[in-house]
Amino acid sequence: MNVGKRSKQREPSKASLREIPEVKFSRARVQRNPYAARIAKEGIVVQVGRGRPKRLLEVGGTRPRSVRFPDAVWKRVEARANVKGLTVHAALREAIIAWLEAAA
């Protein structure tokens, strides 16, 4: 089977660029980050950039753990996290930290 030469990906042609409609910034909507206010208030460290954080530069140098719950409990955790606008992981973290602080 003879395969022809493949050319490099080229830039868009001038004609195709002319067909793209211009963005009207006066009418464009900006979608705000729903977590920005909480991050500013609580001072959460957010990694900027691509990829995983370097080893031990993660927030608190965390280690992954697993926990087993019945499906009914997971559904309740997911529902509660959605109401609070959190991920399931963040909701579990918040609950455990609150439990530890209440016990101290």
pLDDT (tens digit, 0 to 9) for every residue of the chain, 104 residues total?
A: 566 666 676 788 888 888 988 888 888 888 888 777 777 777 665 555 566 666 655 555 567 889 999 999 999 999 998 998 888 888 888 888 889 889 87
Nearest to 94 by CA among 75, 81, 82: 81
CA distance 70 to 34: 30
CA distance 82 to 70: 19
Contact 85, 35 (CB under 8 A): yes
pTM summary value? 0.44
CA distance 22 to 17: 10
